[in-house]
Structure 1
Amino acid sequence: MREPVIAYIGLGANLGDPRTAVLCAIDAIADLDGLALTAQSSLYGSAPVDAGGADYVNAVVQVTTRLKPHALLAQLQGIENAAGRSRPFRNAPRTLDLDVLLYAQLVLNDADLVLPHPRMWQRAFVLQPLAELAPDLVSAEQLQAVAEQSVWVL
């Protein structure tokens, strides 16, 4: 049997009722077979980055999982699809966005999944909740680099 690993998942939404969407997604992640939800950040609000639309509700969760990275991604995409996620264009407003941010120390770059998540280090709405859960994974310099982005605890 596969040894469990720690992974971090970013959540965000800005269409419909984004707070409820994120909270329901956290519950759905906790219900997935092959993983255990071990921690969740506070909810954060953020202005869109490189996009238009309403403010986002964001969070990060920590899971321990036996799922392989692509299987985890497929499960998360199922949750997104159930929430009505569509992808009309890059950075479009969304009912729900779930991203595998980190999967142990794995570095992966293929057509379906890039780990660590390629833009996470440029996003305060990812780094602040991640730092809340795992302060050893986010440096003061990384937080300072995104300090101009508007993010607040809800």
Structure 2
Amino acid sequence: MALVYLGLGSNRERTQHILAGIRALHDRFASTERPIRVARVFESAAVGFDGHDFFNTVVELQTDLTLAEVVRTCKAIEQAHGHPSEVPKYSPRTLDIDVLLYDDMVCASPIVLPRGEVLKNAFVLWPLAELAPQLKHPQTGISFAQHWQSFASEQRLKPLEFAFESLPYLHTP
């Protein structure tokens, strides 16, 4: 059973798409034995392009799927919510789901893990540090709480009051 952390983001119809992404992940991965956990939602400026602010969060789940299967599942959920696969990396998003961590795997294929944004972007690191403060980065060996404490950035980030849908196997702050 793999422990997986996913980053979710949206800057188009943000509330609708973040909730839809969480519901889709819940419906696909959650059960009595394997609930999913969701961090607070944060609002952040677009990074890498001029665009509307994003809503971002991090989801923790457990799965028997391989990394490649998790990536395919996330891409299918994105596409089902209006995110075509051929859009540029730095562009507006209805729903973006990125695999951040898959257990303590370090790899370059089928995707690069751990994802570089984990230590680079506040909108990934802060919710990850809240959700899994004692979890250690697979390459640095330092906990995500410690990484967050020493994080220095000009990125604007604001935690939001966010009404999550009541789902049977969903744990939120």
- Aligned mates of 2:30, 2:19 — CA distance in 1: 20
Cα gap change, 1:34 to 1:132, in 2 (>3 Å)? closer
Sort the Cα spacing of 1:107 and 1:27 in 2 relative to 1 into closer, same or farther, 3 A: same
Aligned equivalents of 1:146 and 1:76: distance in 2?
30
What is the one-letter code of the residue matched to 1:72? V
For residue 90 of structure 2, give the secondary structure of its aligned residue in structure 1. Answer: coil
Quote the residue 1:39 is aligned against.
37
Structure 2: segments with no counterpart, 5+ residues = 136-143, 161-173
Aligned to 1:117: 115
Contact 1:29 1:37 in 2 (8 A): no
Question: Which residue matches 1:72?
Answer: 70
Aligned to 1:55: 53
TM-score of the superposition, structure 1-length normalised?
A: 0.89
With 34-43 and 81-90 compared, the bigger mean Cα shift is at: 34-43
Inter-CA distance 152–34: structure 2 relative to 1 (3 Å threshold): closer
Give 1:1-154 correspondences, 5 Å limit: 4-15=1-12, 17-32=13-28, 36-86=34-84, 87-110=86-109, 112-137=110-135, 138-154=144-160
Q: Secondary structure at the match of 1:108?
A: coil
State the AA in 2 paired with 1:23: L
Q: Distance in 2 between matches of 1:134 and 1:61?
A: 10
Letter in 1 for 2:58: V
Runs of at least 5 residues in structure 1 that lack an aligned partner in the other structure: none
Q: CA RMSD of the aligned region, Å?
A: 1.7
Give how far 1:106 is off: 0.7
Larger strand percent: 1
Aligned mates of 2:91, 2:58 — CA distance in 1: 20
Is 1:7–1:100's contact at 8 Å kept on the other side of the alignment? Answer: yes
Residues of 1 paired with 2:149 and 2:45: CA distance? Answer: 16
Equivalent AA in structure 2 for residue 29 of structure 1: L
In 1, Cα distance between equivalents of 2:50 and 2:28: 32
